Structure 1
């Protein structure tokens, strides 16, 4: 019931549809209840006519007027049956239409709210979840919830009205009938509740196996080249099928339990209805019920059986919805702040102007020299993932407006983590990060940062759509201009549809270099004041790198730029280098100064001209190529 209430709260905007469906169900139920009375009346009319005809068999038969009246009555009753049948069909289909529309709207509401919640969750959540599992929850949970609500809204009124009407009518004709029915309903519900507990637990176990299998399935499909390259098809298939085989044993146990209990429920129900039919038949023989009343009561008992047996199906659907919605609401109940684990995010510099054209407080009425406010400032930053040890320890440095700073260090030394912290993807454990004119929230901060990731992250769609991802309102001319600066036009010209070429999921139809050039063009079009280049040219060949590097030089002009260095050629052109060793800053200085300091950068310069295997290995450890 709690789950049902939560779903209704989530979808309160669908109240008119719920009411419409229930109203249609009430009309259909009323029409259905009229059928036994019409059939019973017709039975009595025909029975009386047959009796009268038998009584006058010795004479000339029944008078024509009586025969005509009987035929007229029977035809009217037949017309009444036709009318209620047409009402059932017409109103029933209206209810079905409302149910279909309601179900579609509910899917939209639940899916949209789920996606909205996922978008609000911090990066830490996605570090610990499989993409396929997240998608599987959406598909399974929402399908089961919408199916239940559609059937429940259609059947709830029917079950209630039919039950109440049959009980009242039975009590009117003979109270023991109502008593037996009143016993049948709670006994059946009680047995169903006993069945439900174990069933839900097993359904939850099945869902867990399916979600894990679906998550791995999505991973394998997305990394099919890797799977085939390492000849891992059979291993992946074995693990996948193992999960589903586990659901087979769980389903067998679940079904055995369900059908054993269902046999008990059905047995109890049959015994009770045996008593009901026996009472009706005996009282008819004794003359307490007419033949028509007997027919009417027998039909009513059949209608009384339907809500009880339908209850089994409703409970089954409800159990699936409850088990399925559990994982849905687990996600919806997540508090982004708790998932994030706390920690401060980048904030505007205290001395920076908060509005365009405003004068920083520290510059007002001051006799101090006009020292520029740092564009980016890290102060005593400590950071680690979850409960692991610190990845970064006491990191402190400033980046001046328009300055180009490169980060160099061993692979896994925290270079990319620095940029993740700058964009507020994680909170720091200690210390602070300030960004001049970053705005009052993370959204404004991220609008001011353009990023080219180490792995170009593209979406299915066209080349133009991917370039304009950060500025969807950009004109076609602006898109093509950015593409030309990033040397995208060089290969786009070879495509029949040009910038309207579909590139497939994650840009699968393009080469690594082509994807990276599109990622560079995307950052160029965004035109943000802060630029982060996370090994932006690492996937390019020498020719492509020269083309893109020219565009990047143009893009970096007048911007604050952070570069995670991969090629020494890009390091030599920066204003300063920050070297990292074991998550700590080792050195900070201009390339020329660090070249003779004996630190990591000096080591790189010494190693790049060496052809020794040990030296080339050391270069790779430092995450740099010569």
Structure 2
């Protein structure tokens, strides 16, 4: 799956030129100009040393071996000694410059990739829920790992090799013309003819590289989804089925990778055969020139070495081009993530909440209508209006799909309504920064999230600067202290991925303690006691009653024990308010709520029965 399909706010960059996407890395490279300059200096020294070697060999052949043949033995030996001494000096310069270049470009590769990963992750965590409805987390992880590794190869290796071989190609070409303009003109004309098919074939390599990365992302996304649902997979004995699906996905990625490798191998073969074929033809002409006496042996030796440098640099550039094209595809995918723009943004000039003069926050919902982006034809809320006083406890009841959880999501501004407004203490929540708004709200979700860390840090997630004593205090309020103390390392015990070492009720009490630690003026409880047994519910209910004092509380309630204690009960159906009042008033009214209450009493389980 590609985020090219996730919405109109994400541009399709797949039609860019083969390497155009790599320009997107420039903002990440810009802060490290100094390191690039140092690497460039080392690169120039290394390339210069390499290009000096053939000239040294020419001197040795013409003035050393040639002179020896003429009888000037002592002088030629001295000249050969000087040439070899100079050659060793050139090799030393080459070694130091190459080591410096390797260190600098490797450092740049690691640094830039770390910055890219951090930037992509920082951007993704600020996306709205709409983004995660259409983008699988496994795919995002694939882009953060596999794709950034390809970029690391380009920044840390390929760019350096490309510049080095470009310098060698240009320098070698200049020296070829200095050595023999006629042969150089012929070889240059032939190179122009052979490079064209190489460039055209390279485009196919890039497309296959992008396809290969997409297939790897698909496999990663599938694996992530199944591993997160392993108890369900095993409960339905689908281990074999899921293994087969993953194997099929991996095989698909393998086949795509093989097509890419085959294309790259063909490209490399084509480059080497065409380039070296042209060079061999020109050298054949040079050999005839030496035999005819129009060229010295030293000139031919120098020409051969420079031709080898030019040919080697062209071959290396074709290899680098293949890596760069793979990285271009990876860069496009990462840039798509960075280009994703959430519809939920901080206002240009955010307002502040007024100083709270009374306990809790006042919430005013005015004629709100909302449909989820993926289901625009169905209204989740329709012309909903509510006025919740500061310090009031309001219960929301109704059947599934009535709009209860949707209202919570709008209060947290995970989505914005299509019409109407929501005000917190008289301020439209769209005029508040997301940090200010969500900082004023605590939530205990129905699906409890436990992080793979200690019990202490899981609760402290509610307020990161809280002391250990404050964490223990709210744990006692949430009836979590006793079972945490019984864990092997107490509050230091790691709870496992997604809290697998805890029961459902224990996870929920951790979440309640986390919300209480935040101590917000507005508390949202989304079936906060749904996973608790009767005894735990009694303890937590008592804790919640204490926590509700001094704050406004909205409860999505399925249990009569919670509903009865609310100041007001709102009955929702199909996104509309159909009834409102206290428990006694609604029962006396004989409407929807009364029928639900009668069903509970008839079940003879007033605590455990469900209202909707």
Equivalent residue number for residue 10 of structure 1: 28
Q: Determine which structure has more spread, i.e. the larger CA radius of gyration.
A: 1
Q: How does 1:559-598 map to 2 (within 5 A)?
A: 559-598=551-590
Equivalent residue number for residue 48 of structure 2: 30
Equivalent residue number for residue 380 of structure 1: 367
- Shift of the alpha carbon at 1:49? 5.1
Aligned with residue 20 of structure 1, among 27, 34, 38? 38
1:422 paired to 2:440 = no
- Shift of the alpha carbon at 1:526? 0.4
For residues 432-474 of structure 1, the C-alpha deviation after alignment (integer angstroms, 9 at most, x for no partner) is: 1111166732220110001111111121211111111121111
Partner of 1:126, secondary structure, is helix
Q: How does 1:239-278 map to 2 (within 5 A)?
A: 239-278=245-284
1:499 paired to 2:491 = yes
Say if 2:451 and 2:498, in contact at 8 Å, map to a contact too. Answer: yes
Equivalent residue number for residue 467 of structure 2: 475
Greater relative contact order (CA < 8 Å, ≥ 6 in sequence): 2
Equivalent residue number for residue 382 of structure 2: 393
| Structure 1 gaps, min length 5 | 54-61, 360-371
Partner of 1:496, secondary structure, is coil
- Distance in structure 1 (CA, Å) of the matches to 2:239 and 2:186: 61
Q: 1:262 to 1:92 in 2, by over 3 A?
A: closer
Equivalent residue number for residue 111 of structure 1: 117
Alignment root-mean-square deviation, CA: 2.6
- Distance in structure 2 (CA, Å) of the matches to 1:518 and 1:86: 65
1:235 paired to 2:241 = yes
Partner of 2:125, secondary structure, is helix
| Structure 2 gaps, min length 5 | 1-18
For residues 572-609 of structure 1, the C-alpha deviation after alignment (integer angstroms, 9 at most, x for no partner) is: 11101011112221101111101122223212221113
Say if 2:60 and 2:83, in contact at 8 Å, map to a contact too. Answer: yes
For residues 548-580 of structure 1, the C-alpha deviation after alignment (integer angstroms, 9 at most, x for no partner) is: 222211111011000011221111111010111
1:73 paired to 2:79 = yes
Say if 1:148 and 1:318, in contact at 8 Å, map to a contact too. Answer: yes
Equivalent residue number for residue 424 of structure 2: 435
Q: How does 1:214-229 map to 2 (within 5 A)?
A: 214-229=220-235
- Distance in structure 2 (CA, Å) of the matches to 1:200 and 1:91: 32
- Distance in structure 1 (CA, Å) of the matches to 2:281 and 2:417: 73
1:406 paired to 2:412 = no
- Distance in structure 2 (CA, Å) of the matches to 1:549 and 1:481: 16
Partner of 1:563, secondary structure, is strand
- Distance in structure 2 (CA, Å) of the matches to 1:14 and 1:493: 50
- Shift of the alpha carbon at 1:124? 0.7
- Shift of the alpha carbon at 1:517? 1.2
Aligned with residue 523 of structure 2, among 528, 531, 546? 531
- Shift of the alpha carbon at 1:414? 1.5
- Distance in structure 1 (CA, Å) of the matches to 2:214 and 2:296: 59
Q: 1:549 to 1:601 in 2, by over 3 A?
A: same
- Distance in structure 1 (CA, Å) of the matches to 2:327 and 2:194: 21
- Distance in structure 1 (CA, Å) of the matches to 2:495 and 2:86: 64
Say if 2:150 and 2:327, in contact at 8 Å, map to a contact too. Answer: yes
- Distance in structure 1 (CA, Å) of the matches to 2:457 and 2:571: 37
Partner of 1:609, secondary structure, is helix
* TM-score, length basis structure 2: 0.90
- Shift of the alpha carbon at 1:611? 4.1
Partner of 2:589, secondary structure, is coil
Say if 2:504 and 2:532, in contact at 8 Å, map to a contact too. Answer: yes
Partner of 2:588, secondary structure, is coil
1:201 paired to 2:207 = yes
Say if 1:343 and 1:430, in contact at 8 Å, map to a contact too. Answer: no
- Distance in structure 2 (CA, Å) of the matches to 1:239 and 1:274: 52
For residues 273-322 of structure 1, the C-alpha deviation after alignment (integer angstroms, 9 at most, x for no partner) is: 12221122222222333333322221111111111101111110111011
Q: 1:521 to 1:265 in 2, by over 3 A?
A: same
Say if 1:40 and 1:295, in contact at 8 Å, map to a contact too. Answer: yes
Equivalent residue number for residue 598 of structure 2: 606
Aligned with residue 141 of structure 1, among 124, 131, 147? 147
- Shift of the alpha carbon at 1:17? 2.0
Say if 1:382 and 1:393, in contact at 8 Å, map to a contact too. Answer: yes
Say if 1:280 and 1:298, in contact at 8 Å, map to a contact too. Answer: no
Equivalent residue number for residue 62 of structure 2: 44
For residues 35-91 of structure 1, the C-alpha deviation after alignment (integer angstroms, 9 at most, x for no partner) is: 1122232233441354145xxxxxxxx7xxx53x44333333222222222222222
Equivalent residue number for residue 191 of structure 1: 197
Partner of 1:523, secondary structure, is helix
- Distance in structure 2 (CA, Å) of the matches to 1:356 and 1:75: 88
Equivalent residue number for residue 92 of structure 2: 86
- Distance in structure 2 (CA, Å) of the matches to 1:469 and 1:374: 22
- Distance in structure 2 (CA, Å) of the matches to 1:288 and 1:179: 17
* TM-score, length basis structure 1: 0.88
- Shift of the alpha carbon at 1:252? 4.2
- Distance in structure 2 (CA, Å) of the matches to 1:189 and 1:512: 65
Say if 1:401 and 1:559, in contact at 8 Å, map to a contact too. Answer: yes
Equivalent residue number for residue 180 of structure 2: 174
For residues 527-555 of structure 1, the C-alpha deviation after alignment (integer angstroms, 9 at most, x for no partner) is: 00000011111112222222222221111
Partner of 1:517, secondary structure, is helix
Equivalent residue number for residue 59 of structure 1: none
- Distance in structure 2 (CA, Å) of the matches to 1:545 and 1:52: 108
1:128 paired to 2:134 = yes
Q: 1:83 to 1:126 in 2, by over 3 A?
A: same
- Shift of the alpha carbon at 1:93? 1.2
- Shift of the alpha carbon at 1:177? 2.5
Farther-moved stretch of structure 1 (556-565 vs 194-203):
194-203
For residues 455-494 of structure 1, the C-alpha deviation after alignment (integer angstroms, 9 at most, x for no partner) is: 1112121111111112111112111211222122201212
Farther-moved stretch of structure 1 (266-275 vs 39-48):
39-48
- Shift of the alpha carbon at 1:382? 1.1
- Distance in structure 1 (CA, Å) of the matches to 2:346 and 2:101: 52
Equivalent residue number for residue 532 of structure 2: 540
Equivalent residue number for residue 336 of structure 1: 342
Q: 1:188 to 1:539 in 2, by over 3 A?
A: farther
Q: 1:95 to 1:480 in 2, by over 3 A?
A: same
